[in-house]
Structure 1
Amino acid sequence: MYEPIRTKSVHTTMAGTPSDFPHRSREEELDIQLAGHLAALLAVTDELRALVPSDDLDTAAERLAAEVARLRGGRTALRAAPAATGAPEALHRRAHALAGRALVVAASRADTAAAILAAERMDAHAAALAEPKELSTAH
């Protein structure tokens, strides 16, 4: 009824035969994921710094860049010159979401420094979103 399998499976290897492709440990995969989330958060932070300069955002950007470099074995994050356009609220929402993702990965990786940084950034962006907005008075 069924035709026998004629080709070797791509999913298994022979016992004792080294694999032809590199494998990463779970820890390495989580490092890559965490570095990616923090690098994305750094990019959004740079965008916010261009729109609403503040010492808090400057410090956060420095700390994020240091964490990305640590996770990438000393390689610094690429940083583009941000365009000073866009809505700060949307950027704060995006940054909050990215910080949340970074927090989840940092927690599963048991990386206390990255988890604390991500939680602080989540709090800062949540606070920025909660600030009362000025109402325009049209006469």
Structure 2
Amino acid sequence: MYEPIRTKSVHTTAGESGTIPHRSREEELDIQLAGHLAALLAVTDELGDGEGGEQIARQVARLRGAPPARHAALSGASPEALHRKAHALAGRALLVAASRADTSAAILAATRMDTHTAALTAAP
């Protein structure tokens, strides 16, 4: 009634595990953390915070193995909007840093969150 399958299944990967590149969880978290910090760096540079930018750039360089590209592209957003965006980005970076147990990045992210919270509460 049914004809037996005579060809190899396309879903079988037995014996082919070396052909597909895989990254470890740590590598994926490093990439994600570096991305969040790079986005935070762009907003920090737009706000004109040189010292904060340098701290973030050092962390991005540590994670990526190369210094980050920095540019002075201005979005034209208000300082309040930029501080809110930076606070959210620092929060995301803090979550990923905590997930991968990266103490230095977590401390930096928490410090940046505090900085932007202070700037938002000081704004009229």
Q: TM-score, normalised by structure 1?
A: 0.79
* Structure 2 CA distance for aligned equivalents of residues 127 and 46 of structure 1: 18
> Could you tell me how far apart the structure 2 residues matched to 1:62 and 1:4 are?
65
What amino acid maps onto 2:45 in structure 1?
D
> Matched residues in 2 for 1:99 and 1:83: separation?
19
Q: Does 1:88 align with 2:90?
A: no
Alignment match, 2:113: 122
* Residue type at the aligned position of 2:10: K
For the pair 1:69 / 2:61, whether they are aligned, the reply is: yes
Cα distance change of structure 1 residues 29 and 4 upon mapping to structure 2, 3 Å threshold:
farther
Q: How does 1:1-139 map to 2 (within 5 A)?
A: 7-9=9-11, 13-14=13-14, 16-49=15-48, 57-73=49-65, 75-83=66-74, 85-133=76-124
* Residues 21 and 86 of structure 1, relative CA distance in 2, 3 Å threshold: same
Cα offset for 1:4? Answer: 8.6
1:33/1:91 CA distance change after superposition, 3 Å: same
Q: How far 1:78 moved relative to its partner?
A: 1.1
Unpaired segments of 5 or more residues in structure 2?
none
Aligned residues: 121
How far is 1:82 from its partner?
A: 2.9
Describe the superposition over 1:51-84 as per-residue Cα deviations: whole angstroms up to 9, x where unpaired: xxxxxx21110010000000002x1111112327
How much is the aligned-residue C-alpha RMSD, in angstroms?
2.1
Paired with 1:4 and 1:38, the residues of 2 have a C-alpha distance of 55
- 1:95–1:125: 8 Å Cα contact kept in structure 2? yes
Which amino acid letter does the alignment assign opposite residue 108 of structure 1? S
State the identity %.
66
Gaps of 5+ in 1: 50-56, 134-139
